[in-house]
A = this chain, B = another copy of it.
């Protein structure tokens, strides 16, 4: 009857229990998808009683939302960390995409979970994509200010880049057989280069096409 959310553990033991549940949920959702995953399966994987779940989460939806939030934060972090270590615009772009594909290869769960989010948690999907796109927009605007990207609407370009990464990653990472450790291979080199060439041409200022060597 209390209106307080149940998500705040008061004791240290409680904190540990909540963490076990989140970790179990990530694994179970990734393996089975949202609907096939049941609370009992999650609590069993966490090694706690089924009733315990509701001490920390209001519903199955809520733990799902928490998970999407978590994964989104991690993929953006991976991308921005990688990009920020480069000074050149082109190198930063390459590093960002490499980080994105790397995260996809090692965390296929992200992909799987996101694809279910639209109906499970209205808004979670939009938030996920919007946040990543915001990162692209900021990068593009900075590059425009430095004269390294042509004059254009950065929002449209950002969604285009997001789409390119999304489907290339789907095709050449997720669809390739995962190894025994559940990790997929990375995008093949020539595909990555073709993709970067495609993007460079689309973004380059007039008359500043990339140097011959990389154009093929």
Give the Cβ gap from A127 to chain B, nearest Cβ, in Å: 12
* Assembly stoichiometry (copies): 4
A178 CB to nearest chain B CB (Å): 14
Query: Which single member of B116, B129, B157, B198 contacts A160 (CB below 8 Å)?
Result: B198
Q: By the criterion CB–CB under 8 Å, are B112 and A119 in contact?
A: yes
Which stretch, A11-19, A99-107, A162-170, touches the partner chain B?
A162-170
A118 and B33 contact, CB distance less than 8 A: yes
Encode A181-216 as 1/0 by CB contact (under 8 A) with B: 000000000110011011101101010010010011
The smallest C-beta distance from A31 to any residue of chain B, in angstroms, reads: 9
Q: Is A66 among interface residues, defined by CB-CB distance under 8 A?
A: no
| Contact yes or no, B115 A194, CB < 8 A | no
* Stretch of A68-76, A79-87, A88-96, A148-156 contacting B (4+ beta carbons < 8 Å): A148-156
Q: Which residues of B contact A212 (CB under 8 A)?
A: 206
- Size category of the binding interface on chain A: 35 or more
Does the CB pair B168–A160 fall under 8 Å?
yes
Indicate if the CB atoms of B112 and A115 lie closer than 8 Å: no
In the complex, what distance in Å separates the CA atom of A171 from the CA atom of B159? 8
| Cβ-neighbour of A153 out of B34, B194, B201 (below 8 A) | B194
- Separation of A33 and B35 alpha carbons in the complex (Å): 11
Cross-chain pairs A/B with CB under 8 angstroms, 20 sampled:
A34-B119, A112-B118, A112-B119, A115-B116, A115-B118, A115-B119, A116-B118, A116-B119, A152-B197, A156-B194, A157-B198, A159-B164, A159-B171, A160-B163, A160-B164, A160-B168, A163-B168, A201-B204, A202-B202, A206-B209
A116-B116, A160-B198, A206-B212 given; 20 more Cβ-contact pairs under 8 Å: A33-B118, A33-B119, A112-B118, A112-B119, A116-B118, A126-B175, A129-B170, A129-B171, A152-B194, A152-B198, A152-B216, A159-B164, A159-B171, A160-B163, A160-B167, A163-B165, A166-B166, A198-B202, A199-B202, A201-B202
